[in-house]
Amino acid sequence: MADALVPFVLEGAAVRGACARMDATAHDALAAHDYPPPLKRVLAELMAAAALLASSLKFRGSLIVQLAGPGPVKLAVIECDHALSLRATAQWDRDAVSRLPAGASLAQLAGDASQARLAITLDPEDGPLYQGIVALEAGSVATLLEHYLASSEQLESRLALAVDDGRVGGLLVQRLPGAHDDAAGAWEEAARVVGGASAQDLVAADDPTGVLAALFPTRDLRVFEARAPRFACRCSNARVEQALRIAGRDEIEAALAEAGEVVVTCEYCGRRYTYPPGQARSLFEPAAGSGGPA
């Protein structure tokens, strides 16, 4: 079964939503690192949430979900672009994470809740950044993001996320602004369905359309064309070389002196970029100013 994200509306009601199934995306994106189980689960939840939030973006660009705290997890980053290409990375203290329960919350992973933050950044290709920050109470990922949506988008939202034995799914419903609720109680029903959906419910069917049909048996659902979330890293030789130029010649010489070559490992996908001395130094030659060596 391929990963899919299915947008939908409840006919005759001011309710829209999206339902996602992302087993392969999460598996592929998290394969580069040996994440401890609680962190892996939270990263998969954040990936499903990021795809659901990004599916309604009206611009070309990225949505970035970033958790920062004093630890055991210092940093977790999920990027999802307008085409639903996702990648993820994290920095954590293995011993400290191993002392946490398997079901550790986001707040437990991030450490002191008063210092930890969950930031959602919208990064359009041709516009200014927008960033919303959610304080990290002892809430679930879904609850935190509901707060974010209520404050930043002014949209009443309900979000449910499921990570269960390699299966990753999520369901988002939003009450559209300014519209009266034509279909009696549609929003209340949608909110109740999402609030009551178990992890099993969200990944029970093979695809999101089947999940929606089971969760809304009596509603007239209009389901739109399924989209395909997938893991894709944006790292490239050009980006790595640009980063090395910014790091500067001294930094590169220090790396060459220590290791005999410059090795850069992408923190997202784990791909290694290796530069022997001649190639590394050529990045700083005047001719490299017009786009770099081939």
- Residue 270, classed as helix, strand or coil, is coil
If one counts every other C-beta atom within 10 angstroms of the C-beta of residue 106, the result is 25
- In sequence order, what are the residues at sequence separation of 6 or more whose Cβ sits closer than 8 angstroms to the Cβ of residue 35? 43, 90, 92
The count of residues interacting with Zn ion (CB under 5 A) is 6
Binding Zn ion by CB under 5 A: which of 266, 275, 280, 283?
266
End-to-end Cα distance, the chain: 40
Closest approach of Cβ 25 to Zn ion, in Å? 15
Both tokens of residue 196?
């009551």
Closer Cβ to Zn ion, 29 or 283, answer by number: 29
Q: Which range of residues in 46-54, 207-215, 233-241, 277-285 is near Zn ion by CB under 5 A?
A: 233-241
Closest approach of Cβ 231 to Zn ion, in Å? 10
Binding Zn ion by CB under 5 A: which of 268, 275, 280, 283?
268
Q: Say whether residue 269 binds Zn ion (CB under 5 A).
A: yes
Q: Say whether residue 235 binds Zn ion (CB under 5 A).
A: yes
- In sequence order, what are the residues at sequence separation of 6 or more whose Cβ sits closer than 8 angstroms to the Cβ of residue 8? 16, 17, 18, 19, 212, 221, 222, 223, 224
Alpha carbon distance 198, 194 (integer Å): 9
Q: Which range of residues in 124-132, 208-216, 259-267, 285-293 is near Zn ion by CB under 5 A?
A: 259-267
Q: Which range of residues in 108-116, 172-180, 215-223, 230-238 is near Zn ion by CB under 5 A?
A: 230-238
With beta carbons less than 8 A apart as the criterion, state whether 56 and 18 touch: yes
Closer Cβ to Zn ion, 89 or 108, answer by number: 89
Q: Say whether residue 233 binds Zn ion (CB under 5 A).
A: yes
Closest approach of Cβ 268 to Zn ion, in Å? 4
Closer Cβ to Zn ion, 62 or 105, answer by number: 62
Q: Say whether residue 88 binds Zn ion (CB under 5 A).
A: no
Cβ burial 168-205 (10 Å sphere, 16+ → b, else e): bbbbbbbbeeeeeeeeeebbebbbebbeebebebbbbb
Closer Cβ to Zn ion, 26 or 110, answer by number: 26
Q: Which range of residues in 142-150, 166-174, 227-235, 283-291 is near Zn ion by CB under 5 A?
A: 227-235
Parallel/antiparallel/unpaired status of strands 167-175 and 156-164: antiparallel
Per-residue x/- track, 168-187, Zn ion (CB under 5 A) = --------------------
Closest approach of Cβ 195 to Zn ion, in Å? 37
Q: Say whether residue 32 binds Zn ion (CB under 5 A).
A: no
With beta carbons less than 8 A apart as the criterion, state whether 8 and 222 touch: yes
Both tokens of residue 253?
């010489």
Closer Cβ to Zn ion, 196 or 270, answer by number: 270
If one counts every other C-beta atom within 10 angstroms of the C-beta of residue 267, the result is 17
Q: Say whether residue 264 binds Zn ion (CB under 5 A).
A: no
Closer Cβ to Zn ion, 98 or 237, answer by number: 237
Q: Say whether residue 231 binds Zn ion (CB under 5 A).
A: no
Query: Residue 208 is inside which H or E element, if any?
Result: helix 208-215
Which residues of this protein are in contact with Zn ion, per CB under 5 A?
A: 233, 235, 266, 268-269, 271
